[in-house]
Amino acid sequence: MGGVQPVVGVLALQGAFAAHERALAQVGVATRQVRVPAQLDGLDGLVMPGGESTTMSRLLHTSGLFDPLQAALRDGLPVFGTCAGMILLATTVLDGRPDQRSFAVIDIAVRRNGYGRQIDSFETELDVAGEDRPFHAVFIRAPKVESIGPAVEVLAEHEGVPVLAREGAALVASFHPELTDDARLHRLFVHQTGILK
C-alpha cells in the first residue's frame, strides 16, 4: 500500500502489551491498542501478549472481541502470540480452565504452566532458525508445547521442545520476546507475514 504505514494492533485487555508496542515501534510499524471490536478495523496484524490466558479469554468475551477477532484470524490476519497469547492461538489447551476458549489458528497442543512450579520462570539462549546469533529468551510460567500438527514449522526449541513456531500467518512463542531489547522476532513477524515489505 503505497506510502501508508502498516498498523499492528496489540491486544490490550490485560498483560504485557506495552513492551510489545515498544518492540513494534523499534521495527518501524505503527501500533494500536485493541480493547473493543472497532479497533480491529483496518489492522495489518495483531500481537497477543503474555499475561493470564484465562483472564484474557474472559475479557475477550465481555469486550465482544472474541467473535470478530476469530473471523479476522480465519481470514488470515497475521498474528504473533507470546506466552498467554500462544495459548489463545492454540488448537488444544491442556490444564486450561473449562470455560477457557482459544482461536485454534495454530495446530499445537500446549499445557498451561507446563514447565512446572519449581522452575516456573527461567531464561535461556535460543538458536532461532535463520538468525545468526542466539536470542535471549525469558520464560514466565510458560506454556509447554506437547504436540504439533504437520503444517507447523518449528523455528526454535528448548531441550527438544518447540518454543517458537509458525503456521500460515500465525507465529507463536512460549517465551516473552518483548521483555528484552532485541526486536528481531518482531521484525521476523512483520517481514514473514508481509506486513512490512
Q: Is 83 an annotated catalytic residue?
A: yes
Residue closer to ligand GLN, measured from CB, 20 or 112: 112
What residues have CB less than 8 Å from 71, skipping those under 6 apart? none
Residue closer to ligand GLN, measured from CB, 167 or 178: 178
Residue closer to ligand GLN, measured from CB, 6 or 50: 50
CB of 156 to ligand GLN, least distance (A): 17
- Residues interacting with ligand GLN, by CB under 6 A? 50-53, 83-84, 87, 112-113, 140-141
CB of 132 to ligand GLN, least distance (A): 28
Q: Is 178 an annotated catalytic residue?
A: yes
DSSP assignments along 134-161, one per residue: -EEEEEES--EEEEE-TTPEEEEEETTE
H or E element that contains 110: strand 106-111
- Name the residue with cell 514449522: 153
CA 165 to chain centre: 10
Q: Is 123 an annotated catalytic residue?
A: no
Catalytically active residues are 83, 176, 178
